[in-house]
Structure 1
Amino acid sequence: MTTAQMPKAAPAPEAAAVPRPPRRRREGAAWVFLSPWVLGACVLTLLPMAVSLYLSFTDYDLFNSPNWVGLRNYTQMFTEDPRYWRSVVATLTYVVIAVPLQLALALIVALALKNMKRGKGFYRSAFYAPSLLGASMSIALVWRAIFNDGGTIDNLFGTGGWVFKPGWALLAVALLTVWQFGAPMVIFLAGLQQIPGELYEAAEVDGAGRWRQFLSITVPMLSPVIFFNLVLQTIQAFQVFTPAFAISAGKGGPADSTLFYTLYLYDRGFVASHMGYASAMAWVLLIVIGVVTAVLFRTSRSWVFYASEGDR
């Protein structure tokens, strides 16, 4: 039998296609895995927000049933409460002082660590440690002792206790925030390591000095990271509470110089038992933070440079 007359082998059967489960079944499985997060978001976030919004239109003292008062809490807040506006001024002053100083120090340290050959891991951990400890009440109390009468600052400079001087108490709180520069420093360091070294080599060949390289290469290439840190630290600064509470013993003194917004909110809600008023303050703070964040995103179009885009 010739080769041409030999029977051809039957073609191998195609692999049976694995049937896909119905779409509803796949979606059901996804919701099962997402259910812990969804349940937590609803019970721990959305429901408390809805209750807080309702309470902001009521007179509620934590002990009796809420009494609907409409917009009275908001009108009282804006027109009849001078301490409210002092808390707003103190908070804005703190944000303007603390956030730029913290980011500037974080960037300076990150630039120093970038070129460090030995011990980078140790120094990075050492500088990051205050970010883990600074928000605790114990560190805030130590900070109060440092800036108190007879404390370290008084012994070194003879300036007296900062915590009892209206012009210096807020600066003491701001310095505690600046001291916690570790988190933005680590983010800056990661961003600096992503900048191509060829850009600096080309700039050096063209005769650009260190300062010109920093302004023309480092800042534009690092601008997305700067923007990210700016947004995060600004949001956190508007919500500062523990340092002001510890340094002023919960009173916001002296002369309401450290009466930050959240501290006054705590005073109205849990000290004076005006929970409806405190809820209204909380919603105003949420709106303000949202507006400030939106403004930062809007203005970022003119100064944040993304390497994947051809323009700013």
Structure 2
Amino acid sequence: MSAPAVAEAHTGPRRGWREKDNYWGMFFVAPQALGMLLFTLLPFLAAFLLAFTEWNGFGMPKLIGFENFANQLTSPLLGRAIINTLVIAAITVPIGLFLAIVASVVLNKIKGRPFYLVLFFAPVVTSSVAIALIWQQLLRADGVISGFLTNTLGIEPIDWLGHPWLALMAVCLVTIWSSLGLNIVIFMAGLQSISPSVMEAAAIDGAGPVSRFFKVVLPLLSPIVFYQSVVAFISSLQTFDLVFVLVKNAGPDNGTRTIVYHIYDLGFAKSQFGLSSAASIVLLVLTLVITALQFGAQKKFVHYEG
């Protein structure tokens, strides 16, 4: 038998196996791809097209061009929603990440670490609606916190959820508390990857605990910090359930109105799906801009090994 024939005889079955592997691979990927097509790509395309129409959910959409965008870009409500959303992101992301880093460093040095990790991680796997309802009972004017302050310090009951600024701070507080556990687990994994010899070398060189934290631990964790900051900012820009449940539909005087709640209010409360879709495109652009700025700034504070 000639050499080409032998080679063909050996490669034939392998080629058949590879084709079967490709078919099986496409078979297992198909559900995920189909779900992404039906629940992500098609809704995004529909929202993009509806942004240029006037539609109340019935009949055929009416094409109106850029009127929806002009309406939303001059809307005081959207402006208030953008400011509130950016305030939530600016407060919750740096404070939440800093607290998570400090807590992970402390937990990394104590015994019974799994027990504390479970306590911190419990809010992450708890329904956000349940979390909002529990904190609502704590923060209301006749709630636990106001009652404690009144009984111990004689302070008049404070309606934490009745004042626009206090309600916004309450949303920030609950957001930080509920996301702390996930950040701690991720930073703990990053700390476990730091070689003990690096910390020992820093200690031998005379670096104290604070110096080692800022000059060794933080630089080595900077890629994880960057990743978590991007994810946290995107999550903060999508805040909805807390303002919907905790402060009852965006709170007093739209004090906690966020962009996603604004989109919901226009689309599902007022049946103005064109305006709602235009607002969602504004949110998309804002998210892309902030993410791009974060990626542009990472060169100044993110240190990659190698």
Q: With structure 1 as the length reference, what TM-score do the two structures score?
A: 0.88
Number of the residue aligned with 1:258: 256
Which of 283, 290, 303 is the equivalent residue of 1:285?
283
SS of equivalent to 1:163: coil
- Deviations along 1:61-105, one digit per CA (max 9) or x if unpaired, are 1123211111000000112x2111011111111111111111111
Percent identity, aligned pairs only, is 34
SS of equivalent to 2:271: coil
1:307 matches 2:305: yes
Residue 33 of structure 1 and its aligned partner are, at CA, apart by: 3.3
Residue 248 of structure 1 and its aligned partner are, at CA, apart by: 2.2
Number of the residue aligned with 1:83: 77
Number of the residue aligned with 1:203: 202
Number of the residue aligned with 1:59: 54
Q: How many residues align?
A: 291
- Larger CA Rg, structure 1 vs 2: 1
Number of the residue aligned with 2:114: 121
Number of the residue aligned with 1:31: 26
Number of the residue aligned with 2:222: 223
1:248 matches 2:247: yes
CA distance in 1, matches of 2:247, 2:203: 51
- Give the letter aligned to residue 232 of structure 2: Q
Number of the residue aligned with 2:184: 185
CA distance in 2, matches of 1:120, 1:26: 43
CA distance in 1, matches of 2:24, 2:92: 47
Residue 223 of structure 1 and its aligned partner are, at CA, apart by: 0.4
- Give the letter aligned to residue 304 of structure 1: V
In structure 1, runs of 5+ residues without a counterpart are 1-13
CA distance in 2, matches of 1:41, 1:97: 32
Task: Map 1:38-57; keep pairs closer than 5 Å.
Answer: 38-57=33-52
- Give the letter aligned to residue 41 of structure 1: M
Number of the residue aligned with 2:152: none
Number of the residue aligned with 1:100: 94
Residue 26 of structure 1 and its aligned partner are, at CA, apart by: 5.8
SS of equivalent to 2:243: helix
- Give the letter aligned to residue 90 of structure 1: N
In structure 2, runs of 5+ residues without a counterpart are 1-5, 150-154
- Deviations along 1:170-207, one digit per CA (max 9) or x if unpaired, are 00011001112000110000001111111221111111
- Deviations along 1:4-33, one digit per CA (max 9) or x if unpaired, are xxxxxxxxxx99735322676665554333
Quickly say closer, same or farther: Cα 1:55–1:218, change in 2 above 3 A: same
1:111 matches 2:105: yes
CA distance in 1, matches of 2:226, 2:141: 39
1:144 matches 2:144: no
> Whose helix fraction is larger, Structure 1's or Structure 2's?
2
Q: With structure 2 as the length reference, what TM-score do the two structures score?
A: 0.90
Residue 136 of structure 1 and its aligned partner are, at CA, apart by: 2.1
Number of the residue aligned with 1:10: none
